[in-house]
Structure formats: structure tokens, C-alpha cells
Amino acid sequence: MTGGVLLDLRFTGADLPMLRLRVATAAAAAGLDEARCDELVLAVYELACNAIVHGGGAGSLRLTRAGDAVHCQVSDDGPGFADAGAGRRGGLWLAGQLTDGVEIDDGALGGAVVTLTVGRRFGRRQLSD
């Protein structure tokens, strides 16, 4: 499977329903099965909500495919994680449980960047503490 950008957009709270639909459509086109699409959509929704609530009211999403994996990067222009509340960390915990990997960049110049990875051929991770 080749790589490439599947989705690249800015969003606000009003865009959340559209965001869920567009992520689901792009993930399915990338070859994720229905269960993996659902997990990715929920994980991305959590990150998008965090960006809206804790990151200045808006964010950016970039969904890409590389080999057998789909990567979703969600970023915002807020204060980063140092000043974020527990709700933001809770959304990250859930996103980590639903995906195969989470990378967090506190954004040295402000904001936060979180990248999720979901493999097409890998089973769902077990929920843990």
C-alpha cells in the first residue's frame, strides 16, 4: 500500500460532526476495517475536543497513510500540556487505548501536537491502566 495525505483540515467545535464523518471515510479508503475505523474516529474525536476546549477553540487535523498504517496528527495553538487540565490527559489516555501508538509534542513554541497510529493489520490493543 502506498502512502499519502488522506485528509488535511482546520476545525472548530461546529465542525466536529463533519470531522467524524470525514475521518471515517478517509480511514475506510485507506483500508482500515470497520472496527479500526470506529476506534480511530473516537480517538480523533477525543483529541479534537481537547484541542477545542484546551487549545484555543480550534485545531488542525492531518490524516496520512504510510505502508500498513494510518497516522493522524491533531494540533492546536493553546498553551500545550503544561497548563492543560486532567480532562485533556484523559482524552489522551482513551486515544492511546484505541490506537497502536500515541506521540505527544508539547509544542516548544506553544500549542500541542498529538499523532496517533493505527495499523491496518494489527489487532486492537487491550485496555489497561
Q: Do residues 63 and 117 lie in contact, with contact meaning Cβ atoms separated by under 8 Å?
A: no
Output the CA angle 89-44-7, nearest 5 degrees. 140
- The residue type of 9 is L
Class of domain 4-119: alpha beta
Parts of the chain with a pLDDT under 50: 1, 122-129
What letter would DSSP give residue 13?
G
Q: Do residues 101 and 22 lie in contact, with contact meaning Cβ atoms separated by under 8 Å?
A: no
In this prediction, residue 120 carries a pLDDT of 79
Nearest Cα to 47, choosing from 11, 14, 21? 11
Taking the domains of the chain in order of start, what are their residue ranges? 4-119
What cell does 41 get? 474516529
In this prediction, residue 2 carries a pLDDT of 61
In this prediction, residue 121 carries a pLDDT of 60
What letter would DSSP give residue 77?
S
pLDDT digits (tens, 9 = 90+) for 21-30: 999 999 999 9
In this prediction, residue 78 carries a pLDDT of 86
In this prediction, residue 128 carries a pLDDT of 46
DSSP H or E segment with residue 12: strand 4-12
In this prediction, residue 126 carries a pLDDT of 45
* Helices marked H in 8-125: 16-29, 34-54, 86-98
Q: What are phi and psi of 78, to 5 degrees?
A: -80, -160
DSSP H or E segment with residue 14: none
What cell does 33 get? 476495517
